[in-house]
Amino acid sequence: MDDSTATYAQSGVDTDGEERGMQKLGAWVTKSFGLRPDLGRPVLPLGHYANVIALGDTLGLALSTDGVGTKIFIAEMMDRYDTIGIDCVAMNVNDLICIGAEPLAMLDYVAVQVPHERLLDELGKGLYRACELAHITVPGGEVAQVREMIKGTRDGWSFDLVGAAVGIVDLNRIITGKACKPGDVMIGIASTGIHSNGYTLARKVFFDQAGLDVHSHVPELGRRLGDELLEPTGIYVREAVSMLQSGLPVAGLVHVTSDGMTNLLRLEAEVGFDIECMPEPQPIFGLLQDKGGITAAEMHEVFNMGVGFCVVADAASESEILEHARADGKEAWVLGHVVRGPREVHLRSAGLVGRGNHFETV
Amino acid sequence: MDDSTATYAQSGVDTDGEERGMQKLGAWVTKSFGLRPDLGRPVLPLGHYANVIALGDTLGLALSTDGVGTKIFIAEMMDRYDTIGIDCVAMNVNDLICIGAEPLAMLDYVAVQVPHERLLDELGKGLYRACELAHITVPGGEVAQVREMIKGTRDGWSFDLVGAAVGIVDLNRIITGKACKPGDVMIGIASTGIHSNGYTLARKVFFDQAGLDVHSHVPELGRRLGDELLEPTGIYVREAVSMLQSGLPVAGLVHVTSDGMTNLLRLEAEVGFDIECMPEPQPIFGLLQDKGGITAAEMHEVFNMGVGFCVVADAASESEILEHARADGKEAWVLGHVVRGPREVHLRSAGLVGRGNHFETV
């Protein structure tokens, strides 16, 4: 590979190695499923955005956990901590809604070097704002003071922030994607920027290669780089819950995280996804690609490229889905349609095809 | 304070500072409670071992989250990772049962420097073993590869491990301690050693002051220091759930974590706790006190001193509670009785009185 290009693997996140370790851990975790054959029985295999455990004949509890990753470093560099809680909630509730659940609550875990009052106050402020947006509560949490375990970019102020969210779903209405069928429409809802994924690569490109820092004013962005990189992850709860509660024929829901649009392949159906047209991505993506000399394939593999969430539904409901998708003020577009298998994502505008979690040039 | 003694604050865990930051974060979290007045409503104030959200007229979902802290460093030093998952489950489910819940599931979050197959395999093995002991499943989890955020004692193998557990409880049968009344009996169940709290102090004493390492064979322990320090935290689910399901008049349940026996004061009642007699603690505690020149007050404030879990119940049920407490093979003892307030813990054998989360010499 060309030395002048940055790849996600080179920048320190070994996605294939993670895959192998995950399989080992996943085997133990899956074995545990059998320990609760009745009350508490896990309903889905690993690999979905969330799992569901049975609390009754029809009541399912959806569960998901996620952290914010190295977006936290941007908060440290900016010495501003009042938005990163939004990212934490977003990453968790956006996963929960993908299986058709209504989020109810999230627990937070904060590991700090030093429990500065301002740090914890600002983290709480972001969590609360996200609770309003996602219509959930934070019923409890944990602050662990583990200075020797945490590091970052601002000594004394480094931290980790992780959430674990729960929601409810009717066991007969869990969405796994298996209802997706050729002809279904794919609708995308706008992201707010790079959300909470790909920061290892983004930091390498902007800070190491391009020599910028968070305080650099970037004309293409119209603001400081750090303000752009700290833009909170979009929360798609209102849109998804309103579609589901309206009884629309939603077949698949996809939170576009790391692996980009190949996340569509997490839907269970033996179908392909033909993306005829992607919206113009925000300027941050073009800037990243230019400064890093990153291929289109890798850009689409690592970043959301402007689309934070996807809805797959019967084409007859296209206009209603679009209406719900736009009801909270976000932009939404028809991206394309479901086609017969094989299980591939065709990104026509970019000349790419995605299999597994990789994109290749056609 | 005598320079020759080690205190928990000196060893790097600022419990008072943590308290102030927690209040700031706690204010935001508590404010979020109002966002769900019906479905998902948090039932308890902060400060209990777990919170409960309402899923129906009587169905409550109990939630709790906790990490393992720097006990992880012992695992790294021993290069042995197949027990630390037990600690993670134990710390979470032992909290859940304190409010009267039956644990059902735990999500795990693992932050690693490198996702080594052996590391994740061994972590999974411990989690699975604990699932058997606690009768729960791990329906999902997250492995975050964040090399730049995590540090520890074995570069490349350092990690953080956090759990978030859920269980169910009848909203009319939540245990908060408010039913505790003078005359009630306090029964203690044996810990397995220092469990998962106080490792910052323990490491300072053994490794920095005493010059030992995890491979040092310690005659008083009859094994290597690392084997003792890695002994998994006891899990009290079977005992607690069987007491509750038998309908015994349990008034309070206390997981003895950091702050030791002052955890009794987390019970809501306006009563005192008169501990007439503590069992002989395991040799590790005496060794810690000797090597560190630690006062009795601080030992009791930081460590469980041999008692990992307490049950407060009507004295008439003493023998039945003891029977359930011993049914899983652990030792259990009558420690003392509930007395009229003020809210203090009297540790007669040690000549100490505990208020808030501190012990003082009488």
A1 pLDDT above the threshold of 60: no
Domains defined for chain B, CATH in brackets: 36-173 (3.30.1330.10), 185-361 (3.90.650.10)
Q: What is the mean pLDDT of chain B?
A: 95
Who wins on pLDDT, B9 or A198?
Answer: A198
Please answer yes or no on whether A140 and B18 come within 8 Å at the CB atom: no
Take residue A135 and report the two structure tokens written for it. Answer: 């219509």
Interface predicted TM-score (ipTM) of this complex, two decimals? 0.95
Q: Could you read off the pLDDT of B307-330 as tens digits, one per residue?
A: 999 999 999 999 999 999 999 999
Average pLDDT rounded to a whole number, residues B325-354: 96
Q: Could you read off the pLDDT of B176-225 as tens digits, one per residue?
A: 999 999 999 999 999 999 999 999 999 999 999 999 999 999 999 999 99
| % of chain A at pLDDT higher than 70 | 95
Residues of A with CB below 8 A from B35's CB?
A: 131-132, 135-137
Smallest CA–CA separation between B29 and chain A, in Å?
6
Out of A24, A51, A141, the one facing B139 most closely (by C-beta) is A51
Residues of A with CB below 8 A from B156's CB?
A: none
Which B residues, 53 through 112, put their C-beta within 8 Å of a C-beta on chain A? Answer: 53, 55, 59, 61, 63-67, 69-70, 72-73, 104-105, 107-112
Average pLDDT rounded to a whole number, residues B46-57: 96
B1 pLDDT above the threshold of 90: no
A224-231: long-range contacts (C-beta < 8 A, 24 or more apart)? A226/A74, A226/A77, A226/A78, A227/A78, A228/A193, A228/A284, A229/A71, A229/A74, A229/A193, A229/A194, A229/A199, A229/A202, A229/A284, A230/A71, A230/A74, A230/A75, A230/A78, A230/A80, A230/A83, A230/A84, A231/A83, A231/A192, A231/A193
Please answer yes or no on whether A140 and B46 come within 8 Å at the CB atom: yes
What's residue A20's pLDDT?
A: 83
* DSSP label of B47: T
Indicate the pLDDT class of residue A17, thresholds 50, 70 and 90.
low
B3 pLDDT above the threshold of 60: no
Smallest CA–CA separation between A8 and chain B, in Å?
12
Residues of A with CB below 8 A from B162's CB?
A: 109, 111, 142, 162
Residues of B with CB below 8 A from A154's CB?
A: none
Residues of B with CB below 8 A from A66's CB?
A: 109, 142
- The rounded distance, in Å, linking the Cα atoms of B72 and A260 is 33
Indicate the pLDDT class of residue B30, thresholds 50, 70 and 90.
very high
Q: Could you read off the pLDDT of B64-108 as tens digits, one per residue?
A: 999 999 999 999 999 999 999 999 999 999 999 999 999 999 999
A39 pLDDT above the threshold of 80: yes
CA distances from B165 to A49, B60, B108, B270 (A): 18, 14, 9, 29
What's residue A3's pLDDT?
A: 39
B25 pLDDT above the threshold of 60: yes
Choose among B15, B357, B71: nearest CA to B231.
B71
What's residue A4's pLDDT?
A: 43
